[in-house]
Amino acid sequence: MSNCITSDKSTSGGATSDRANADTITHSPQQEDGLSILPAHPSGDRFGRDRNALRLPSFLKRQVGKGDQVRAVRRLMRQNTLHTVCEEARCPNLSECFSQKTATFMIMGKDCTRACSFCAVGTARPGPLDPQEPQNVAEAAAELGLKHVVITSVNRDDLPDGGAAHMRDTVEAVHRALPQADIEVLTPDFLGDMGAVELVANARGLKVFNHNIETVPRLYPQVRHKARYERSLAVLKHVGDHFPNLTVKSGLMVGLGEQKSEVFSLFEDLRAHGVNIITLGQYLRPSRRHAPVVAYLTEEAYDVYRSRALLIGFEHVFAGPLVRSSYHAAEALRNAQVSSPLSL
């Protein structure tokens, strides 16, 4: 996700007009489909080509962190030839998480075999897997003293198992280095290969299995053209059915043009397929080459979605403009464990 902010330094009359137009776009909430939203781009600019379409409302702007702790985490990652999804996906929470010495490790390289229109991660032919990576991740997690470790990956459709064995090995290496830590994975769909899903789910030390549904089924052809909504649901259900010891988690973006009723239906699907925790946050457009933002949701809109999801029976719902899959992941797990009948 992007936290790019366009600044306007011009003092010309045209720039003044642009600023006025931007204010109209980003600072005038309106009711649509029973939700309080902010239009993301000028009326008629269907594809978000107007440069004002990249301007963010003030509540979505975050300063890029450059403190000592942020630099220390970056340095540690580079020393171990590691990547974080925080950096590759341009997460707006990077400075907050890095300053707390937390990060989501992104394994199997920084190049993805897919080209989802919402994602800032690069697309290219990936290189071979690094056999030292599992141990490097474990050592970095131990040096950071993490209590909750999140491991994700790019899609590796070029590999027979989608990289599942490598992800399992990384989880188990972290578990050996930090036996008291909770470990969470955020996985690809492995092209629906349930054998690959089981390789990861069976990893020693794993606590949370997360696979993001990302958006409503109607938008899959535009947003996740190589993925399948039913395939993602099947992955989640398989883990929920066969690994009751794991907490199952999924996340989605809003602001892509989905309707409230579609999100409500998606909630029902996730709950019916065994999901315990959901995260919901604003889609932020990485560049004008990516899918345009249709709307920015206000806090009132997230309240509507949060209330509905809790009513359906999710153990924890983390919803807000800057919420991402791994943001405050330890807190989400703790709250879900408190809410779960198994903990009573």
Alpha carbon distance 10, 8 (integer Å): 6
Strands 30-32 and 35-39, by their bridges, are antiparallel
Quick one: which of 51, 77, 58, 49 has its CA closest to 3? 58
Q: For residue 192, is pLDDT > 80?
A: yes
Output the pLDDT for position 231: 97
151 within 8 A of 188, measured Cβ to Cβ: no
The answer to which of 8-22, 178-192, 298-312 has the lowest mean pLDDT is: 8-22
Token code pair at residue 314: 């999710």
Mean pLDDT over the full length of the chain? 80
- Contact present, 247 and 209 (Cβ < 8 Å): yes
In this structure, of 72-81, 84-93, 163-172, 289-298, the range with the lowest mean pLDDT score is 84-93
If one counts every other C-beta atom within 10 angstroms of the C-beta of residue 241, the result is 11
| Percent of the chain clearing pLDDT 90 (strictly above) | 47
pLDDT tens digits, residue range 137-160? Answer: 999 889 888 888 899 998 898 999
For residue 92, the model assigns a pLDDT of 55
Say how many C-beta atoms besides its own lie within 10 A of residue 278's C-beta: 30
pLDDT greater than 50 at residue 313 = yes
Residue 13: pLDDT band by 50, 70, 90 thresholds?
very low
Under 8 Å CB-to-CB from 307, ≥6 apart: which residues?
Answer: none
pLDDT for 5: 28
Q: Which residue has the tokens 């709307």?
A: 295
Both tokens of 27, joined, read: 């600072």
Name the residue with tokens 């069976």. Answer: 202
Q: Give residue 124's pLDDT.
A: 66
Residue 251 tokens, joined: 């996340």
Contact status, residue 97 vs residue 327, Cβ threshold 8 Å: yes
- The residue type found at 114 is R
Most confident of 43-52, 57-66, 114-123, 299-308: 299-308
Higher confidence at residue 222 or residue 73? 222
Q: What is the pLDDT of residue 24?
A: 43
* Band (323; pLDDT cuts 50, 70, 90): confident
CB 295 within 8 A of CB 255: yes
Helices (H) and strands (E) in the chain, counts: 12, 13
Going by C-alpha positions, the residue among 105, 86, 108, 244 that lies closest to residue 177 is: 105
**Residue 12: pLDDT band with limits 50, 70, 90:** very low
Looking at residues 321-331, what average pLDDT do you find? 72
- In 10 A of CB 215, how many CB atoms? 27
CA angle (37 as vertex; 35, 41 as ends), nearest 5 = 145
Contact criterion met (CB below 8 Å) for 160 and 193 = no
